[in-house]
């Protein structure tokens, strides 16, 4: 299965509309805060090249990054739909609409609610997690997720350069896990990548 012919057009429309919307919106929680295209491409490439099959996204917004992730998963044999978490019902509804318009509604399972509470109820295992919501609560979410991760897992987090103070707790938590190798890629707002290789 591949995305519909509307996919690329929709991405461009969301990029334009998102930039205009966020420039005019004063309430932070109402902003869409979508990934930059180059960051989204890198995230998608990491999922595809690693043949990740169980992906969790924390922070759906209007579904821009979920479109990239779902488009990757639908090309990977034996993969399962993306699980993506959003606490704002209006944004979750926008994401459902956008995924359906792109023909990817079957490849994304949107869970509405507080991310930490939703994460606690997930079974896993996951082989990729993308943290793109409340950076302050990411350390607690990571702690909850650790028993639910595959041995070979990749962890991604945006805003590593744009919000260093907010993401510092997450990075410190990862530093205490010596089995992970990590780096920050200076692309977009800074994408932090951590990988734990499974035993051979």
Q: What is the CATH number of the domain that holds 153?
A: 3.40.50.150
- Residues 6+ positions from 128 with CB-CB distance below 8 Å: 46, 47, 50, 52, 54, 55, 56, 153, 154, 155, 156
Q: What is the pLDDT of residue 199?
A: 61
Around Cβ 36, how many Cβ atoms within 10 Å? 14
For residue 78, being part of any structural domain is answered with yes
For residue 18, being part of any structural domain is answered with yes
Using CA atoms of 8, 184, 46, 38 in order, give the dihedral in degrees to the nearest 10: 10
| Tens digit of each residue's pLDDT (9 = 90 or more) over 33-43 | 678 899 999 99
Asked if the model's pLDDT at residue 200 lies above 60, the reply is no
Asked if the model's pLDDT at residue 142 lies above 70, the reply is yes
Q: What is the pLDDT of residue 33?
A: 67
pLDDT above 70 as % of the chain: 92
Dist. CA 190–CA 44, nearest whole Å: 15
**Residue 26 domain boundaries:** 7-196
Q: What is the pLDDT of residue 15?
A: 83
| Tens digit of each residue's pLDDT (9 = 90 or more) over 144-195 | 999 999 999 999 999 999 899 999 999 999 999 999 999 999 999 999 999 9
> How many helices and strands (H and E) does the chain possess?
7, 7
- Sheet (strand 108-112) strand order: 108-112, 82-86, 55-58, 126-131, 149-157, 191-196, 181-185
For residue 24, being part of any structural domain is answered with yes
Q: What is the pLDDT of residue 26?
A: 64
Number of domains, the chain: 1
Q: What is the pLDDT of residue 133?
A: 86
For residue 108, being part of any structural domain is answered with yes
Q: What is the mean pLDDT of residues 115-133?
A: 95
pLDDT band of residue 103 (cuts 50, 70, 90) is: very high
115, two tokens:
């991310």
For residue 1, being part of any structural domain is answered with no
Q: What is the pLDDT of residue 68?
A: 97
């Amino acid at each position: 299965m591949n995305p519909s012919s509307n996919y690329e057009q929709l991405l461009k429309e969301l990029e334009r509309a998102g930039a205009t919307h966020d420039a005019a919106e004063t309430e932070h929680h109402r902003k869409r805060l979508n990934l930059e295209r180059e960051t989204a491409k890198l995230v998608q490439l990491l999922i595809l090249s690693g043949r990740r099959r169980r992906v969790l996204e924390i922070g759906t917004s209007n579904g821009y990054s979920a479109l990239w992730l779902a488009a990757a998963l639908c090309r990977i044999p034996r993969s399962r739909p993306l699980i993506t978490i959003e606490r704002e019902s209006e944004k979750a509804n926008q994401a459902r609409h956008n995924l359906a318009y792109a023909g990817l509604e079957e490849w994304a399972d949107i869970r509405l609610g507080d991310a930490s509470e939703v994460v606690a109820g997930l079974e896993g295992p996951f082989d990729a997690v993308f943290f793109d919501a409340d950076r302050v609560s990411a350390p607690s979410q990571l702690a909850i997720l650790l028993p639910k991760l595959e041995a070979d897992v990749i962890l991604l987090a945006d805003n590593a350069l744009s919000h260093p103070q907010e993401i510092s707790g997450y990075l410190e938590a990862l530093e205490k896990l010596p089995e992970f190798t990590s780096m920050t890629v200076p692309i977009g707002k800074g994408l932090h990548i951590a990988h734990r290789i499974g035993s051979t």
